[in-house]
Structure 1
Amino acid sequence: MPLTDAQCRAAKPAEKVQKLSDARGLFLQVTPAGSKLWRMNYRFEGKQRTAAFGSYPDVSLASARMNAAELKDKLAAGIDPAVKDGAAAAPDKTFKDAARAWFNAREAQWVSGYAARIWSRLDADVFPKIGSKDVSTITPAEILALLRVIEDRNALEMAKRVRQTISLVFRYAVANGWALQDPAAPLAGAMKSAPRQQHRAALKEDQLHDFFAALATYSGDRATALGLKIIAHTFVRTSELRLATGSVAQTR
């Protein structure tokens, strides 16, 4: 049944985004933050799109219906509703806009190096492909295409991390009413699996003499040889040794 103004006024925010349907594809989207946004799904030239008509009560139910009717008239005439006065209309919120808002909201809880890596991944592999697109219109196929490019570099784990980051941006966008769903979520099962890692066999006790003898004549980086000796004597992980910090006390 069509919406009533009383239903629009009474709508309360919930844990998830709510969609209150009216007619002709028009609906009122109620976000967890309490925003009430007029949206309308439509198709043009085979592509699913979402139009934005402002927020309630600034835009009344009657005005939103008039906007929906005008959009339908344009579709019937073969006119792209996303084009105004001969130029493409600016998207309501681009993916890069959403990513920047999400990043700013989370940055304080990250160390600077991690935050820099997150933004660098987005800047290098994601923004050139979908950064300027309206976040509400991006499809799973578009995201999978950019992930395949990363996978083709044999960076399979990187591709998985990028998908997870994209998904977090979309979840933030959904919560704020900029998008209706997370198109990256169903792609987890479509990612390529990394080959099983083959670890080198552990040295046996009777091999240690020859190993240290060979290490003594190692012509490579001196730090590498010293690092191997430290690991052999302390049994720490390589990452623990590489990332260790501290100071050397001087003794007399």
Structure 2
Amino acid sequence: MPLSDVQIRNLRPKDKQYKVSDFEGLYVLVKPSGSRLWQMKYRYFGKERLLSLGAYPAVSLAQARKFKDEARALLAKGIDPSEAKQEAKRAKREALGHTFLKIGEEFFEKQKKEGKSKATLDKTAYHLKLANAEFGRKPITEITAPMILRALRKQEAKGNHETAHRLRARIGSVFRYAVASGLAETDPTYALKDALVRPTRQHRSAITDPVALGNLMREIEGFEGQATTRIALRLLALTAQRPGEIRHASWVEFDFREKIWIIPANKMKMRRDHNVPLPDQALNLLNDLRMITGNGEFLFPSLRSWHRPMSENTLNAALRRMGYSGEEMTAHGFRASFSTLANESGLWNPDAIEAALAHVDRNEVRRAYNRGLYWDERVKLANWWAGYLDELKTG
């Protein structure tokens, strides 16, 4: 028989909690403390579930029956009312803007304002996407270390140990931003520092033997693929810059009169402008390239669209076509070739070589001093390196 308000008001606590039924699964749970809680029992895909509807008298008999009817309507549509209730709570919390997803978006915008390089922003976006798939909609204060570890373990299970470590670091950056903003108390990733498998550090393969490097330069000279790819590889060897900086190079960055390539900070890994002296060999290549791509923005546009740069796989794929495996040589390896052979020559100040590679000195005073001090030497170094490569190429 259905309950009445009078009956519910007269329910008294006992030593143990007990239930008093209304109908269609709705009942009052009377606690020894005297509190009276509305609950609804139902079955979802054959399993018994429980839905809490609030405490009496804050939730009246009429309201409890209304909530019960709404839950049964969801069941008729194949929707679990408990899950729907949790989803509604999550949506409400998300609207407050304190979810990991929202704070992550704020952190990403902060990085953009700080002028982080495109490569850094792309990595941040990728890591945030992985994290958001796991707990992006949860309030940041409800995200625990075990919850984060489960997400990291998924990467480890795929063998992506380096990704797992970088993902932990990126999640930690978002938490520290939240702590600084007063939205969280602690960074739970700190407790996970030693919980992950340490990745094996693999240096990018590079040819540092002069004879072998000469062979490679001849192979590049005779490369039968795209002319732009051949020129890109030769410029990569001549300038010793990062492959991404070569691929994203724009014509506006080159001062042909002063023989300088001015790479803007937003394209550099260390977010500082970097000037690269251009030897005559590089200028000749650029003049040849202008006949092919000089009307566009990029020196090396994509084959699919001139509004996008060359694919990041193009240069390594060209090396593979020439018969060089990933264990022998990579596009990034030209930097190690330059560094090793320039240092072994004994002709140049190691700091000038480091400056040519855009390796930034942590000491700001020393960095500012070195920037001006080694420019003249770097110009001579660039010309020597270009001539040295020519000598190796001709055997």
Match of 1:158 among 142, 163, 170: 163
- Identity, % of aligned pairs? 25
Shift of 1:102: 3.6
Match of 1:237 among 225, 237, 241: 241
Of the two, which has the highest radius of gyration? 2
Give the equivalent residue in structure 1 for 2:131.
Answer: 126
What is the Cα-based RMSD across aligned positions, in Å?
3.9
**Cα 1:173–1:206, aligned 2, differ >3 Å: closer, same or farther?**
closer
Unaligned runs of 5+ in 2: 1-32, 40-51, 55-66, 68-84, 257-286, 288-395
Give the conservation status (yes or no) of the 8 Å contact 1:166–1:184. Answer: yes
Q: Supply the AA of the counterpart residue of 1:237.
A: Q
**Cα 1:84–1:188, aligned 2, differ >3 Å: closer, same or farther?**
farther
Match of 1:174 among 158, 175, 179: 179
Q: Supply the AA of the counterpart residue of 1:225.
A: R
> Matched residues in 2 for 1:121 and 1:175: separation?
21
Give the conservation status (yes or no) of the 8 Å contact 2:207–2:213. Answer: no
> Matched residues in 2 for 1:159 and 1:165: separation?
10
Give the conservation status (yes or no) of the 8 Å contact 1:125–1:150. Answer: no
Unaligned runs of 5+ in 1: 1-72
Q: Supply the AA of the counterpart residue of 2:174.
A: V
| 1:110-125 superposed matches below 5 A | 110-111=115-116, 113=118, 114-115=120-121, 117-122=123-128, 124-125=129-130
Shift of 1:129: 0.9
Shift of 1:212: 4.0
Shift of 1:201: 5.7
> Matched residues in 2 for 1:104 and 1:207: separation?
46
Higher relative contact order (CA 8 A, sep 6+): 1
Q: Supply the AA of the counterpart residue of 2:101.
A: K
Deviations 1:146-195, CA, capped at 9 Å, x for gaps: 12223444444333332222112222333444333211122222233222
Deviations 1:103-134, CA, capped at 9 Å, x for gaps: 44554213483445423431x21112111222
Deviations 1:53-96, CA, capped at 9 Å, x for gaps: xxxxxxxxxxxxxxxxxxxx799x8x9xxx76473444473222
Shift of 1:143: 0.6
Q: Supply the AA of the counterpart residue of 1:143.
A: I
Give the equivalent residue in structure 1 for 2:198.
Answer: 193
Give the conservation status (yes or no) of the 8 Å contact 1:174–1:181. Answer: yes
**Cα 1:224–1:130, aligned 2, differ >3 Å: closer, same or farther?**
same
More helix by percentage: 2
Number of equivalenced pairs: 173
| 1:16-95 superposed matches below 5 A | 85=54, 87-88=85-86, 89=89, 90-91=92-93, 93-95=98-100
